[in-house]
A and B are shown apart, each in its own frame.
Chain A
Amino acid sequence: MQRCTCCGRLCHPPALLCPCDHAATEYIELSGRGFVESWTVNRHQWFPGFPPPYLIAFVNPVEDERVRLLTNLVNVDPEEVTQNMAVRVIFDRCIDGEDEVFIPLFEPER
């Protein structure tokens, strides 16, 4: 994620300048650990390749709980999800022609 070079806040989605103090941002490596801020069990098929049900959540990184990442919770039963549940990132590698993307998903910290 991006971090402000001045105030140290994380910034997501990425921005040219920190929305807080307008200073430059830089990408830093995070621990990959976070907490569940909110979640929903999607039960409607919106897109091909996304058969319901699946879990969508906001996760706050432990480094700065003021920011959040929209993501999917995986390897967890919907009934087991709780507020502030500790989670850890796993990356889903997606290939589309020449394009390679690593999608950050989260599973419970074990």
Chain B
Amino acid sequence: MNAAVTDRTIISGIGQSAIGRRLGRDGLELTAEACLAAVTDAGLTPADIDGLTTYPGASQPGLGFSGASLRDIHDALGIKPNWVAGGVESPGQLGAVVDAVLAVACGLASHVLCWRSIWEGTAQGAGRRKGYGSGGGRPSGMMAWQMPFGATAANLAALQIRARMLRYNLTREQLASIAIAQRAHAARNPKAIYRDPLDLDMYLNARMVSDPLCMFDCDIACDGATAFVISRAEHAFGLDHPGVTVEALDCAHHDRFTWEGGQDIARISSRWCTIWERTDFNVADVDVASLYDGFSVFVLCWLEDFGFCPVGESGAWVADPARISLGGQLPINTCGGQLSGGRLHGFGHLHEACLQIRGEADARQVDGARLAAVGVGAANSGTTAMLLRRT
């Protein structure tokens, strides 16, 4: 259905900065490192870039939530764009990539640089941690219905886990598979933050953050930036590596952008999967998946949303971690995801899927990875689902 759009574009370059729990480096410097790496990877120089897009831009919901605004990078790299877009109200974090694909497909630009940077590790370290919405005064909007009750996203994820336990008989042992499999993947990724083995006993005895959600169900605040270059499809012939084609794109949102206002708190409330209407592939063709894991339970929601298993059966589906591990039926978050690799906020998921499709994932490469599923965003945020294949 949207092949006409996605066939006109490729992900020509990918780049990532150093990643660390607390690097103590400037957010702009980290962002520029990732951006320049992506431009070089695409076989280009900053002078070739004629479009810029980023999430979330200059908006700052929390300390370190954005490492560099669109204008910061525009200035820092001396870009002369014909088109720019940056902001937080989009189909989730990957909305910035969707914008880039559309701009190139429509001829507004030929090579769009697109990034997400985050430095929550440094910004919130050593007594500076504040959490969101702690500015004082009467909270407004979504916060008006959370702050008075001392509730954060972690608590809402815990409510989602409990709802799945009550309705679908999800167990903590099943949920543990996500964190355990991803930690084993992280051991094969030199850039991952936590690489020591994690087993079921450690998981079950871990500190509770918000019962039944424990510390291993939460992603890790970190410093790091990820960037992509989206180019016109014909640029694939100029690359020294395979191009990556977005086979299908799905940004559907048929429910409210709130945790509690949606029809079903056990699901990613606002999502509505339309991706299989937009491709000739089917769910059995997927070789590897990058599924958003701000909290572990979101992976279960994405498995059901993509249709890897029926709604409510994801817990049983992942009960044996081998199924979602390297060598298994559907390896998930092969870089360690955000639970072990660090909270790169969705762009890390797309980066890893690109590496897999290009065959460059080194010790964690999935043999013969031809089709990757990427699902980013959760609950109250917007979401984007993608299928990637080689150009």
- Residue positions of A touching B, CB distance < 8 A: 12-13, 15, 19, 37-44, 46-47, 50, 54, 56-58, 66-72, 78, 83, 94, 96, 99, 101, 103
With A12-B261, A42-B150, A68-B260: A56-B138 Cβ-Cβ less than 8 Å: no
- Could you tell me the dominant secondary structure of chain B's interface residues? mixed
Q: How many residues of B contact A (CB 8 A)?
A: 38
With A40-B210, A68-B260: A47-B155 Cβ-Cβ less than 8 Å: no
**Complex CA–CA separation, A46 to B209 (angstroms):** 10
**Complex CA–CA separation, A56 to B260 (angstroms):** 13
Decide if B259 touches A41 in the complex (CB within 8 Å): no
**Complex CA–CA separation, A54 to B158 (angstroms):** 13
Decide if A39 touches B138 in the complex (CB within 8 Å): no
Decide if A13 touches B210 in the complex (CB within 8 Å): no
Q: How far is the CB of B182 from chain A (nearest CB, A)?
A: 22
- Residue positions of B touching A, CB distance < 8 A: 131, 134, 137-138, 142, 144-152, 154-156, 158-163, 166, 207-213, 256, 258-261, 263, 265
A–B pairs, 7, beta carbons within 8 Å? A40-B159, A40-B211, A41-B210, A43-B208, A66-B263, A70-B151, A96-B138
Write out the residue numbers on chain B whose beta carbons fall within 8 Å of the beta carbon of A19.
256, 261
**Complex CA–CA separation, A70 to B148 (angstroms):** 10
Decide if B265 touches A68 in the complex (CB within 8 Å): yes
- The 10 A-B residue pairs with the shortest CB-CB distance, nearest first, are A50-B150, A40-B158, A41-B211, A38-B163, A38-B159, A38-B162, A42-B210, A103-B148, A40-B210, A56-B155
Closest to B159 in A: A38
Sample of 8 more A-B contacts, CB < 8 Å, known A58-B159, A66-B263, A101-B148: A19-B256, A38-B162, A42-B211, A56-B155, A70-B260, A78-B211, A99-B138, A101-B138
Write out the residue numbers on chain B whose beta carbons fall within 8 Å of the beta carbon of A78.
211
Decide if B159 touches A47 in the complex (CB within 8 Å): no
Write out the residue numbers on chain A whose beta carbons fall within 8 Å of the beta carbon of B131.
46-47
Q: How far is the CB of A24 from chain B (nearest CB, A)?
A: 17
